[in-house]
A and B are shown apart, each in its own frame.
Chain A
């Protein structure tokens, strides 16, 4: 009896140890996210105390005079990400429909493989391509076209730099397309085939069946798109290379602008004053907060569809 008990208790000890070891590491993840937030909150104390809420609403960013306001960066981030979101949403849905419903498997497999690769390509390469291919193309083709057709609108006026808000939005739209379309395809897969078969059995056309699947998957698709939006907001290198890096708020989409991530990338290593670094960390804290909220929302939307499958 004693031996048996001993064996049993030993086994249990090993199990308890192992479960708690893995739990410890898993909790480290939770702790890490909390620690990131706390650390940035503490390090930005100086800037938060000096500027208060005015930091978000002031557009004066002057390291020499030590005056810091993040409005131009917040504006640049929001406008470029939202534009990217709006450009890529209809396109990614059609890519997902195109790949999952229309083309033959022999076309789908290589194309979806390439899209997977493009989701993993470093953002610096997108930025590099943006400088050398996209920016000249916008300067020489897109901008003259938009100005000759919609030039009366304030959004499309101004000189041709090539780099600016619109260029950043387009590169972001291209970058988030692979992410959104792969999630859209996963979500569409989670919609039972029987639903589509039922629609066909009732005499629905192909488009009507697809429309029904899209409607049923809408919250998941939106979740994927919002996830892409979160990615766009935090995107650093590609945006830094094509947005023009000028802290200003102008109506024209062709004007150079600045984003939260870009200003950190450009100024952090060279920042000398304590208040300058503190302000940059506060920009990082805002960035963290915004992406945290947006990603939570996206995940909840995606779970709501995929959990049912």
Chain B
């Protein structure tokens, strides 16, 4: 009621116009102040990373302290193995539960599952690390790639579930109806028509989950543990790119810092490319 009084009172007009200008200006100012550090982090890391990156980074093993050069080849391979194990766990669980939420979402159970997915995506990654430690490391009696991959797999699930659900919901209902009208059973319709139509979106979602998992450090600290040598056995401690970056970043050596910046750039580049793809695919989806 007070608002309407202000609106019809012309003597307030000047004050309202000034308030309008001031508040919009404050919003712009605060917006710019907030966005600037974000841009700064992005460009600072990119710049420091590119200037430290070279071919050795991808082909050499880490050198001991004091020796120049060296790379993170073992950590890159280690990260690939960890992500591979994670994907084997995260993708099937993520996609199938996403299908359930999207296609059978009328039930009460689906609401609970949706809520749980949101909760799972909010569980701190270090807690997932503790869980993987209890479930995999303790029974195996040692740190291993398997434990690290298990933790990463759990972290991938909510992202994949969510994007599968969203992408399948974007598929027009008429497509499902057309298929059902032709006598195709419901599950075949879901798999052959709906899932296929949504597949490009789901694939980018999987890539998004992988890009996130590639940068996860906390859950690997006491599961994959890290390793300065070549190691490809999945039941042994294994190196990972973010772990190596962490160790190098908190070290006092300049040459290690440069390596860490190069690693940070590789991770940012991965995130950048994947997000670009997601944007491209989802834009096509919305316009068609």
Closest residue to A122 on the B side, CB-wise?
B215
Question: Which of chain A's residues 182-218 have a Cβ closer than 8 Å to chain B?
Answer: 202-208, 210-211
Band of interface residues on B: 35 or more
Partner of B130, one of A14, A126, A284, A296: A284
For A285-309 the 0/1 string (1 means CB < 8 A from B) is: 0011001101110110000000000
Partner of A295, one of B109, B122, B264: B122
Question: Which of chain B's residues 1-54 have a Cβ closer than 8 Å to chain A?
Answer: 3-4, 7, 16-17, 19-20, 23-24, 26-35, 37-42, 44-45
List, in ascending order, chain A residues with CB within 8 A of B279's CB. 113, 116
List, in ascending order, chain A residues with CB within 8 A of B29's CB. 94
Report whether A127 and B120 are in contact in the complex, using a CB–CB cutoff of 8 Å. no
For A44-83 the 0/1 string (1 means CB < 8 A from B) is: 0000000000000000000000000000000000000000
Complex Cα–Cα for A203 and B103 (A): 45
Chain A binder among B58-66, B111-119, B171-179: B111-119
Chain B binder among A140-148, A151-159, A260-268: A260-268
List, in ascending order, chain A residues with CB within 8 A of B20's CB. 205-208
For the complex, is A23 an interface residue (Cβ under 8 Å from B)?
A: yes
Complex Cα–Cα for A24 and B29 (A): 50
Report whether A261 and B275 are in contact in the complex, using a CB–CB cutoff of 8 Å. no
With A14-B185, A236-B218, A281-B130: A124-B245 Cβ-Cβ less than 8 Å: yes
With A120-B208, A235-B124, A236-B125: A39-B187 Cβ-Cβ less than 8 Å: no
With A22-B96, A29-B157, A94-B26: A114-B187 Cβ-Cβ less than 8 Å: no
Complex Cα–Cα for A207 and B27 (A): 10
Report whether A118 and B16 are in contact in the complex, using a CB–CB cutoff of 8 Å. no
Question: Which of chain B's residues 242-288 have a Cβ closer than 8 Å to chain A?
Answer: 242, 245-246, 249-250, 257, 260-261, 264, 267-268, 271-272, 274-275, 279
Report whether B41 and A129 are in contact in the complex, using a CB–CB cutoff of 8 Å. yes
Partner of B188, one of A14, A22, A124: A14
For the complex, is A231 an interface residue (Cβ under 8 Å from B)?
A: yes
Band of interface residues on A: 35 or more
Partner of A234, one of B19, B113, B123, B271: B123
Complex Cα–Cα for A21 and B39 (A): 45
For the complex, is A26 an interface residue (Cβ under 8 Å from B)?
A: yes
Complex Cα–Cα for A284 and B214 (A): 23
Partner of B131, one of A39, A202, A291: A39
B249 to chain A, nearest CB (A): 5
List the interface of chain B (C-beta within 8 A of A): 3-4, 7, 16-17, 19-20, 23-24, 26-35, 37-42, 44-45, 92-93, 96-97, 99-101, 103-104, 109-110, 112-113, 115-120, 122-131, 133-135, 143, 154, 157-158, 161, 185-188, 190-191, 208, 211-212, 214-218, 221-222, 225, 242, 245-246, 249-250, 257, 260-261, 264, 267-268, 271-272, 274-275, 279
